Chain A
Amino acid sequence: MVRFEHVGLRYGLGPEVLRDLNFHIEPNSFQFLTGPSGAGKTSLLRLLFLSLKPTRGLITIFDNDVVSLAKDELSVLRRRIGIVFQDFRLLDHMTTYENVALPFRVMGKDESSYRGEVVELLNWVGLGERMGALPAVLSGGEKQRAAIARAVIARPQLLLADEPTGNVDPTLAQRLLRLFIELNKSGTTVLIATHDIGLMDQYDARRLVLHDGRLHSYD
């Protein structure tokens, strides 16, 4: 699904922040990406969700060499990847329902074709009663569940989450982890970037550890 071969990344003329990364992500797998602050987790995630291109090496995602893809081709490829951010990135002027339905709007689908699906997912993540609420009145946990729902509504093959439990209490973090596990069981490949060791200890999964720009894998 995802293949990194001798990938390096530097910003401008600065030093390499990621060095000689070699790893695969298999379909339907579950992994944590961890490492100390400044180790390059966010940079690696940006490479994975195609917001950056490597300065050297080869990255193939869904059998596409990302370096050779045009901007619009990258946009279409992103539709197969769901992203969850620590700061949620919900659109403040849209309701929970509209935020979650946004990927379908971007695809140009008619609302009648996806309305039921969005409502069903919102019920599933426990936001059935908050569909018409604006993000400003949602709690941190509700915002995070809305962000997760938006990331998975279009049934992406790969789900990337950047510190998804960074802004919630441990109980909610545990519930969110269960949500990711359920998504993985339903066929989505999941990668969670976190430095929360407690969270990782709750689920036996592969750990990709970044340290000083290099990656170590612990299966």
Chain B
Amino acid sequence: MSDLRMDGELTVTQRMAGLLPKSDTPIVPKNSIAGRAMVAVVAIMTFLASLTVGAVMLVRAAASDWQSDVSREITIQVRPETGQNFEGQIQRAIETAREFPGVGEVRAFSKEESAQLLEPWLGSGPALQDLPVPRIIIVRIAPNATPDLAQLRKLLNERVAGASLDDHRAWMDRMRAMANTTIFGGIGVLLLMLAATMLSVAFATRGAMAANRPIVEVLHFIGATDRFIAYQFQRHFLVLGLEGGLIGGAAAIVVFILAGLAGKWGAGFSGGEQLAMLFGTFMLGIEGYLAIAIQALATGLVTALTSRHTVNQTLRTVE
């Protein structure tokens, strides 16, 4: 079909029914060096932060396991006393513990087992048989029971000479303090990483704003409000932030899965067994992976909010 153009020339135009162009290109171009650098920065930060979150959660879970194991067990130590029948002392201690409400299994170490415990320090010579080695009695607490340990301690002191009860409280307190220190340390590291991410994003946003200044100017000239322009950049950086967060979070999840698998494969080796003893199976569990996913999303949002603030600040200086 022929049309008359506004400068008077004849032109042939296409009626492109159904093939009309679409206006869906982002106003702020997605692919730029600054954009790629920002995705890399956010991905690295998210990866490190996710490793920190995972490590803190592993330590917390391991400490909780150790505490629950240890708190379900108490130890009675019986020292030989002059003028006392040592085996009788031990038997009285066992009976006192067994009769006490809330106590489950009670087992005394034999003389040989006690000697074995001291073997690394004293050797295995016959002299060990003559030494007055104290005897250990392991007392397991019945499931769902909370025995009155102060009362048990009092009873033992009254009935058995040379008996003392250790509920591992001091050790557990130290363990709890260590776990808490690790968790607070982890939170501190996370906050520092968040601050570093925000600063990097602010610098990257300023860089992107400078690189895209011609676009900002054109938008101003055609009547865009600061809010509209800020929205375009915020959306741009939200996409970049989420992309970086997703890459970093996914990489961290892969690392934890591989570490878990490596832990399983290494279970037969001595180093692997020690690691498993300390950290369990190295598996994060669903809540750990969820925490990493939430953190990756949060990094994307922090990126968007930081860039929004920086964009608004920059726009205030543009006429």
Contacts and interface: CB of A to CB of B under 8 A. Distances in A.
A49 B221 contact: yes
A155 interface: no
A126 B86 CA distance: 112
B29 A76 contact: no
B223 A123 contact: no
A79 B223 contact: yes
Interface in A91-144: 91, 93-95, 97-98, 101-103, 105-108, 111, 115, 119, 123-126, 128-129, 131-132
Contacts of A98: 21, 23, 25
A97 B23 contact: yes
A98 B23 CA distance: 5
Contacts of B5: 123-126
B225 A76 contact: yes
Q: How large is the interface on B (under 10, 10 to 19, 20 to 34, 35 or more residues)?
A: 20 to 34
Contacts of A183: 6
A95 B21 contact: yes
Interface string A159-181: 00000000000000001101100
A78 B7 contact: no
A20 B209 CA distance: 37
A202 to B, nearest CB: 13
A207 interface: no
Given A91-B218, A125-B5, A107 B23 contact: no
Given A95-B21, A97-B23, A132-B21, A182 B6 contact: yes
B222 interface: yes
Interface stretch (B9-17, B265-273, B280-288): B9-17
A89 B20 contact: no
A113 to B, nearest CB: 12
Interface in B23-52: 23, 25, 27, 29
B11 to A, nearest CB: 6
Contact of B11 (A79, A83, A105, A126): A126
A52 interface: yes
Interface residues of A, number: 44
Contacts of B14: 128-129
B223 A107 contact: yes
Contacts of A71: 226
A52 B11 contact: no
Contact of A75 (B3, B214, B223): B223
A79 B21 contact: no
A201 interface: no
Interface string A177-199: 01100110000000000000000
Max chain A CB contacts within 10 Å: which of B9, B220, B222, B226? B222
A94 B25 contact: yes
A123 B11 contact: yes
Contacts of B25: 93-95, 98
Nearest to B215: A91
B222 A103 contact: yes
B217 interface: yes
Nearest to A123: B13
Contact of B319 (A52, A129, A179): A52
B246 to A, nearest CB: 24
Contacts of B224: 75, 106
B288 to A, nearest CB: 41
Contacts of A42: none
Contact of B22 (A91, A108, A111, A123): A111
B137 to A, nearest CB: 79
Closest 6 CB pairs of A and B: A79-B223, A97-B21, A78-B223, A93-B29, A128-B13, A106-B224
18 contacts: A75-B226, A83-B221, A91-B215, A91-B218, A93-B25, A93-B29, A94-B25, A95-B25, A102-B218, A103-B222, A119-B16, A119-B20, A119-B21, A123-B13, A125-B6, A126-B5, A154-B223, A178-B8
